[in-house]
Amino acid sequence: MTSNNFAQIRLAYPQAKQVDSVDNYHGTVVKDPYRWLEDDNSEATKEWVNAQNKVTDSYLAQIPFKDKIRKRLAELINFPRLGNPWREGKYYYYFKNDGLQDQSILYRQEGLEGEPEIFLDPNKLSNDGTVALGNLGFSKDGKYMVYFISKSGSDWQEAFIMEVNTKTLLEDHLEWIKFSGIAWKGDGFYYSRYDEPSEESQLSGKNEFHKVYYHRIGDAQEQDLLIYVDNEHPLRTAYAGVTEDERFLFVSASEGTSGVELLYRDLQNPAQESLKVLVPGFKYDPSAVDNVGDQLLVYTNEDAPNYKLVQIDPRNPGKQQWKEIIPEGEETLSGVQSSGGKLFASYMKDAVSKVVQYQKDGTREREIKFPGLGTANGFSGKIEDDIVFYSFSTYTAPTTVYKYEIASGKSSLFYQPEVKFDPADFETKLVFYPSKDGTKVPLFISYKKGLVQDGNNPVLLYAYGGFNISLTPSFSTSNLFFMEQGGIYAVACLRGGGEYGEAWHKAGMLERKQNVFDDFIAAASYLVQEKYTNKDKIAIRGGSNGGLLVGACMTQRPDLFKVALPAVGVMDMLRFQKFTIGWAWVVEYGSSDKADQFPYLYKYSPLHNLKKGVEYPATLITTADHDDRVVPAHSFKFAATLQADQAGNNPVLIRIEEKAGHGAGKPVSKVIDEATDVWAFTMYNLGMEYKD
């Protein structure tokens, strides 16, 4: 055991100039003294970033057990990890990481007994692992594969095409792709992109006029055929998909992160030359699943907050003509997969996976049983497949892959990783606690067996609470490390998420967003009340919308938490809509441009609710220089303000990762680096000692 004397580490924060920047929101004057930090290209911002990183690095270097944390994290993550296999022609493809590889490698083999070979190794696309694969898709004849790459974590992507048999790269190269699917039709595919931005605006400029194009193999990108753009509504996104038989093209047009209009075109009908509306928008969230001949299967929450699957005749698409295939139930239907001529319906029961197999006409065949409280993903396959694969993971055991025989319903173990810990030493329990208004909220509590509820255990409380996103059990070696050290990892399924359908989502959006913060604060209070911990042992963590959550809760209840870890957070609720894709979040949050929405945004906006002279938790803000989803200016301005306002001795640090973005595609080496810094900061400020 390594002792920690917890001597106060001295800090001298970089000076951040204040400017006379003021906005008038519907009669309310709001100062913005660090507006200059929004310019990510300025020398002043770059100097401030470098100075902040030096202070953070210096502080973390003085934590005596930091190197031991890194060593153990590297040991824990160093095991082979396999993704779900899927079939394309005579080959099965799957991703595998041997342990410490920065990016997982795409392998293929003939049949299930063939010899594996490397098909595409993204680690060879850069010297430092910062180029990552995005979407990929195979042509129906299996002859070609298109794949996207992103650099340094940016949302911008490029596309390349490979001839499958020879693994030869074609000359085709597409750029400025963002928020795009890959939908093959014949000898080309549909994809989505924006016009080329200026060099200065690539990472922060507002994204407008999303377009769907068709690219034919061998053509230059300038020759691509424009399929869809809404010139009257520049702030809409468009996503293309094609049914497996390549008969129907779909375009999902959205005005934000929720609310979709579903358009279609029958590609076998020469008389239909353009897209037509199948399901008008933008009140609900329909998505195309498959077709049965000339009938379309659509997953939707229209008049069904827990979602349902309906069959629509495109020649007569009126809602009164819809046929229910899988009706809405008490549990949330989180998605439907069409594989092997069957439908696999994924449900959530208190945020835990349940999957039911149906015939295409909605006849129920069986429920697929899983081992414990966990999350199942997969069941993807072609219509002629007789087997599919799925993975299952929990908070305390790594992802295991199973082979599933569609006809018999038999599951068999396909791949179980060998890890450097015993999952049987840990446990998870699901409890329900009351929020401020009495609403019951699920809370997963995971820890090492033998834990004593003496009110003195360190806790990492994590949540998200927004955008209809559900937090279901998932495995992380980083979180398991904290449990090894005697910590409790707690995950709260707050309102704003999708765990209980659209009603749960709506209860935490717009003017009801405060419910989300109340739920999170109540989770911490519950853990104290039930003697899991005390207020000096609680760290809170969240990313993106979860970073907003941490920022709002630490400003509303600074007395309740000892450590705050907001990651890539939305901290300025008055200006988020002005950058990149931020405008799409207005349907979730509201906008300061609207007089009726400004007051509640201003009331909880983390940046605007910091007050001088308050003792805030020890705070480590994390962001990245290539985050073009939630631009780092949010974190920059929050850090500068918090450093100026903080009373007492709790440190306020910001860690700005270089050549990284919002999180997707981050190389394993950077994952270990960040986790080392976060746990060192957290354990040190919670008064923990490192356990060998």
**Rounded CA separation 626/667 (Å):** 14
């068999």: which residue's tokens? 412
Strands (E), 385-439: 387-393, 400-405, 411-415, 426-434
CA atoms within 13 A on the CB side of 465: 36
The answer to whether the beta carbons of residues 497 and 460 sit under 8 Å apart is: no
For residue 174, give the DSSP letter: E
Structure tokens at 204: 């922060």
Torsion of CA 303, 308, 311, 314, to 10 degrees: 50
Report the DSSP pairing between strands 488-492 and 459-462.
parallel
**Rounded CA separation 614/607 (Å):** 14
- Catalytic residue (choose from 210, 215, 505, 662): 662
**Rounded CA separation 531/553 (Å):** 21
Environment class of residue 551 by beta-carbon count within 10 Å: exposed (0-12), middle (13-18) or buried (19+)?
buried
**Rounded CA separation 677/546 (Å):** 19
Is 544 a residue of the active site? yes
- Catalytic residue (choose from 180, 258, 391, 544): 544
- SS3 label, residue 71: helix
Q: Whats the size of the chain, residue-wise?
A: 692
Is 626 a residue of the active site? no
Phi-psi region of 531 (alpha: psi -120 to 50; beta: other; left: phi over 0): left
Q: What is the DSSP string of 251-306?
A: EEEESSSS-EEEEEEETT-TT--S-EEEE--SSS--EEEEEETTEEEEEE-TT-TT
Q: Please list the active-site residues.
A: 544, 662
